[in-house]
Chains A and B, each alone.
Chain A
Amino acid sequence: MKPYLRSIKAKWTLQDYPDNTTYEAGYLISKNAGWRSIRPVIDTKKCSGCLQCYLHCPDGVISKRDGAVAIDYDFCKGCGICKRICKLKAIEMEAESK
């Protein structure tokens, strides 16, 4: 389980709001991809699946996949911690194309 993107309401009417300040957990309406100027790119050939990048990602956007890892670019902010933590240099930061 993890928070996930929902459809965005064009207009909120009074009935759409809860009567209190309790709402469905993990309700996302916006991505964080736009924050990024550089993006981590994984060289799966070099990746040993040690999972240190997965462990240290402040945004939790790196997940285990087939013995290696994958990045959710919708929510990656491009902080570069994953590149720095990777002892095998399997992650490079590349400029986001405009």
Chain B
Amino acid sequence: MSREFLSGNEAFAYGIRLAAPQVISAYPITPQTIVVERLSEMVEDKSLKSEFIHVESEHSALSCAIGASATGVRTFTATSSQGLLYMAECLVYASGGRYPIVMMNANRSTALPWNIYGDQRDSLSLLDCGWIQAYAKDAQESLDLAILSYYIAEHPKVSTPFMVNLDGFHLTHTYEMVEVPESELVKNFLSDYNTDNKIDFENPKNIAFSAGPEHNFAFKYKEHIGILNAKEIISEAEQKFAPLFGREYSGLVEAYRCDDAEYILITLGSIFGLCSDVADELRNEGVKTGVLRLRYMRPFPNKEIADIARNAKAVAVLEKDISFGNEGSVYTNVNSALQKAGLSVPSLNFIGGLGGRDISEEDIREIFNKLSQGKTAVHFIGIEEGAII
């Protein structure tokens, strides 16, 4: 193990080198570019043995990764924002074909207006594409997810592509000390990708076929079961990971001081640290606050959210996202979890950080302040005083 001062992008690239995909296809886009730059340097200096394909678009990046995955090799690509949307067709292709491709997405705002800074509308608009979606909080978790993601995605019970999301700039470009594990350790943790879902010269296959109304549903149902199975495999992977690497992860969610919390702020990504700091301050002031981070948006932690929110007086969802004409998508999902569990706890939506706009400590204090009023509503941080339902 070594300790290095790395940005989120670099930490992820280090993690990918350790996972050693045999084929990498990549196209540059801010703020993801550093990942593919580092990986190409690693291939050049032979510290990573991988076919590095300089594709001509994001659509081709993922199409190429699908082709490579269909030969049974480990694959990686990375993208962001418009690039993710440009490859959207291939997202459903990869998941429908059950190809366990790992892709890093640098969460970035989507045009128009053009904006290169971070929000989460790119990936959250694609929740229904059949990909596992994880959201990292810091560079260390980014590196670890690069390794964990392959364990989970390639598990035969899952066989589902995996999107690891890093907040653009806030995480991709922020440096911190990161523990980089030894490659031997990773080899012990992550076995080679082994699948029947591939081209086979002994027993030839017809692949990526059509299936009409009679047969289509069965494939889609199995796809759904695969991504649901990821819940169990995420837990299995983390239990194996902890003793080897000395770091523990907590499955679909990370709860901070939620046990006796009356007011719980639910969020995702790198804003978690600041939210936890504010929760600490408010605890010192006598307010029972907690923060729940959704580490995964798919599979969605329905049960975990309900269990933690069960005794709360109110919950808030803070997200850098909006589903225009409705509300934040995370909020919709959280409300569904609460409703299914029969909880009638007030829930508030706070939409902020769009286009990279800063979310301040004061903003978060204000969220907890509004939470204590316990009135279900959708708020836009810094836009107006009122609320919309």
By beta carbon, the residue of chain A nearest B97 is: A21
A19 to B219, CA, bound (A): 7
Cβ distance B224 to chain A, nearest Cβ, rounded Å: 12
Known: A25-B206, A26-B206, A27-B206. Is A20-B98 also a contact (CB below 8 A)?
yes
Known: A14-B221, A14-B222. Is A21-B215 also a contact (CB below 8 A)?
no
Q: Please determine whether B218 and A25 come into contact, CB atoms closer than 8 angstroms.
A: no
A24 close to chain B: CB less than 8 A? yes
B355 close to chain A: CB less than 8 A? no
Docked complex: B204-237 residues within 8 A CB-CB of A: 204-209, 211, 214-215, 218-219, 221-222, 226
A22 close to chain B: CB less than 8 A? yes
A50 to B228, CA, bound (A): 59
Q: Provide the residues of chain A in CB contact with B198, threshold 8 Å.
A: 22
B109 close to chain A: CB less than 8 A? no
By beta carbon, the residue of chain A nearest B70 is: A22
B373 close to chain A: CB less than 8 A? no
- Looking at the complex, which one of B159, B203, B221 makes contact with A24 (CB distance below 8 Å)? B203
By beta carbon, the residue of chain B nearest A23 is: B206
Known: A24-B203, A24-B206, A25-B204. Is A19-B221 also a contact (CB below 8 A)?
no
Interface residue ranges, B against A (CB under 8 Å): 70, 96-98, 159, 196-198, 203-209, 211, 214-215, 218-219, 221-222, 226
Interface residue ranges, A against B (CB under 8 Å): 12, 14, 17, 19-27
Extra A-B contacts (11), CB below 8 Å, given A17-B219, A20-B159, A23-B206? A17-B215, A17-B218, A19-B159, A19-B222, A21-B97, A22-B70, A22-B97, A22-B196, A22-B207, A24-B205, A27-B206
